[in-house]
Amino acid sequence: MKTVTAVVIGAGDRGRHVYGKYALEHPNELMITAVAEPNEQRRKEFQKLHGIPDDRCFTGYEELFGQPRLADAAFICTQDGMHYSPALLARQAGYHVLLEKPISNTAEECVRIWKDCTHGGEGQIFAICHVLRYTPFFLQIKSMLDSGMIGRLANIQYEEDIGFYHFAHSYVRGHWKDSSASSPLVLAKSCHDLDILRWLAGGPVASVSSSGSLLEFRPENCPPGAPEYCAWGCPSAQECPYNAVRLYQWFEPANFLSEIVKLEDPMHDLEHALFHSDYGRCVYRCGNNVPDHQTVGLSFFNGVEAQLTITAFSSKITRHVRIMGTKGEIVGDMARNLISYRDFSTMKKTKIHLDVPAEGHHGGDRGLTGSFVRSIASGKNDLPTEVSQSLESHLMAFAAEKARTEQTVVNFSEFVQKYGLSL
């Protein structure tokens, strides 16, 4: 198959370390030919890594998409509130598009993109970054369900453990701390978990409920005498699990977060960030508003009930799932790549250990990128998701946030009708 060419919009963590990395590791499959990135040093480093000529390096996506088409595909890796415009411009310019989730941070823009994708663009691929569908973990579970081995599906209990250090980095100090400026937690973090639940349940959702709040990261919980920045010398530094100095300099599981901080501000070192950026602030003084724990209840038309629990308060970043059927149950631990199955008729328990490399989203990043590239190269779209399915999971997230903030149960059919849609 031919080598697919691509442009990258946003050379940050996803653009550089997922799609850029894939191109460097698979040069016969994917080649990056242009980049749009406003940060000069980040842009130049990306340019050097991929050998991109000066005339194909741009400060903004508008300039790039104003050129004649420079590649086969476009990877849109901007922040949540900056997905809509470059995605539409990329489609209009004739690119195949892989768009980071969420599609947009507003339901209206999500619907507009879906409508745009249903008109014209013959043969154009437009995919959303629902990486979990490409993980060996969920592919195995889906295969087990489809085989009928647990009988009729009844309940799904699904837990997303964000990790206390990851939550503090991204949703207290970082880009996603303010839902009005980025996205609600259930959309930004869990729209692809909702996509998985819809996929596993095998039918549309009938109603959505949700509860949750910001419990810990509030000004009134600030330790006495704590300064604005942890590095200024906090009297509670030793016992505070969210001490920025410990998290970014000493705490082993969070070292990858240090790399993200340095990537965001390549002109300065980590010490500068601890003293001068939001990543060094006391977690109780960050002006954040997203909930640190939330539960979403989903009732499907086919009788399946599902519950998604999202929590900041976990020691690991992982997902757990328990799936209950009329003839058996499946229990999965994504961090351990372990799935167990128990047959009710024999009570025999079977364990499945998956051999998955320790890489992005448990193999999902590589799986998604490879499938997208191969679909373009072959001219045959083999991606397991369509924009309509991605839209449904996003609207489930918006319905969940409505249910949480208004303390109500949302009739999903009525909810989507507001946007001119039907199930």
CATH of the domain at 401: 3.30.360.10
Domain-ending residue, one of 228, 249, 280: 280
For residues 304 and 262, membership in a common domain is answered with no
Q: What is the pLDDT of residue 255?
A: 75
In-domain check, residue 371: no
Residue position matching structure tokens 């200024």 = 232
Cβ neighbors of 336 (< 8 A, separation 6 or more) are: none
Q: Longest C-alpha distance within the chain, in Å?
A: 67
In-domain check, residue 235: yes
Residue 382: exposure state from Cβ atoms within 10 A (0-12, 13-18, ≥19): exposed
Q: What is the pLDDT of residue 359?
A: 73
Q: Across the chain, what does the average pLDDT equal?
A: 93
Which stretches of the chain score pLDDT less than 70? 120-121, 254, 358
Q: What is the pLDDT of residue 49?
A: 97
For residues 116 and 137, membership in a common domain is answered with no
Instruction: Give pLDDT tens digits for 42-55.
Output: 999 999 999 999 99
- Return d(Cα 326, Cα 407) in angstroms, integer: 32
In-domain check, residue 253: yes
For residues 197 and 328, membership in a common domain is answered with yes
What are the structure tokens assigned to 267, written together?
């002109």
- Helices and strands in the chain, H and E counts: 16, 15
Residue pair 183/196 in contact by the 8 Å Cβ criterion: no
Strands 73-76 and 338-343: unpaired
**Identity of the amino acid at 165:** Y
In-domain check, residue 140: yes
In-domain check, residue 12: yes
For residues 158 and 304, membership in a common domain is answered with yes
Domain-ending residue, one of 280, 304, 327: 280
In-domain check, residue 78: yes
For residues 122 and 265, membership in a common domain is answered with no
For residues 75 and 28, membership in a common domain is answered with yes
Q: What is the pLDDT of residue 259?
A: 77
DSSP type of residue 73: E
For residues 188 and 39, membership in a common domain is answered with no
Domain of residue 257 covers 219-280
The CATH number of whichever domain residue 34 belongs to comes to 3.40.50.720
For residues 231 and 89, membership in a common domain is answered with no
Using only the alpha carbons of the chain, give its radius of gyration.
22
In-domain check, residue 146: yes
For residues 397 and 330, membership in a common domain is answered with yes
For residues 159 and 115, membership in a common domain is answered with no
Instruction: Give pLDDT tens digits for 326-350.
Output: 999 999 999 899 999 999 999 999 9
Domains: count for the chain? 3
Domain-ending residue, one of 110, 128, 146: 128
Ramachandran area for residue 410 (φ above 0: left; ψ -120 to 50: alpha; else beta): beta
For residues 67 and 124, membership in a common domain is answered with yes
In-domain check, residue 367: no
For residues 37 and 51, membership in a common domain is answered with yes
Residue pair 198/389 in contact by the 8 Å Cβ criterion: yes
